[in-house]
Amino acid sequence: MAHALYDAFMFESSEQVWEAVLALARPAEGDRVLDAGCGTGRLAIALGDLVGAQGRVSGVDVSPAMLRSARRQVARTQLADRIELRQADVRSLPYGDASFDVATASLVIELLTPQGIEQAFRELRRVVRPGGRIVVAALAEEMPYGRTLSFYLVVRRILSLAALGRPLPLRRLATDAGLLARLSVRRSLLRLPVDILLCEVPSTTAGGS
């Protein structure tokens, strides 16, 4: 029941973020797509619809309860043959190098520790082929902080809620991981700023990175 309420709430509040993620990811028919932190599967289903019968979507999440909900969602569609769901951590993905054409990580990276965030970016780069695309959506580091974001950060600090994400400098994090930051758009989630960043995996390795 709790995950059904979460799903309904997040679908309504996150819809414009997910639409931006899909627009930047723009998977083609036949693409192999990773949805890291797939939650209850809404974005994975949308990606599965775009990749066509020859494509493949792999959704991973650390939460067994979220994955059970995602499997129920997928089972209600005509896309079960092209969507794989498994329990895994974005910091240590169970896939080989260059396994995917596209990867998305929506509203999950900011929940990690600073070290975990760096690990997640490195893993996303590793599993996406050279020239492939990575789209990350996360709470934006807005300077100066707006009123809503300032209030959010005070509440997060006072209540010590580790489950609430921290604002991230996405472009810098992506660059530090050796990715090419191509385009960023901003959307709103519960009046909080969210950045959606499109990155590209370099086609050639430069400087040993």
SS3 annotation, 136-191: EEEEECCCCCCHHHHHHHHHHHHHCCCCCCCCECHHHHHHHCCCEEEEEEEEEECC
Phi-psi region of 170 (alpha: psi -120 to 50; beta: other; left: phi over 0): alpha
pLDDT grade, residue 206 (50/70/90)? very low
106/39 Cα distance (integer angstroms): 9
Fold of 2-200: Rossmann fold (3.40.50)
Give the count of beta carbons closer than 10 Å to the beta carbon of residue 126.
15
Pure H helices in the chain: 2-25, 42-51, 64-75, 114-127, 147-159, 170-176
pTM of the model: 0.85
What does the pLDDT read at residue 13?
Answer: 56
pLDDT grade, residue 83 (50/70/90)? very high
pLDDT digits (tens, 9 = 90+) for 18-58: 899 999 999 999 999 999 999 999 999 999 999 999 999 99
What does the pLDDT read at residue 166?
Answer: 78
pLDDT digits (tens, 9 = 90+) for 113-147: 999 999 999 999 999 999 999 999 998 876 545 55
Token pair for residue 16? 């414009």
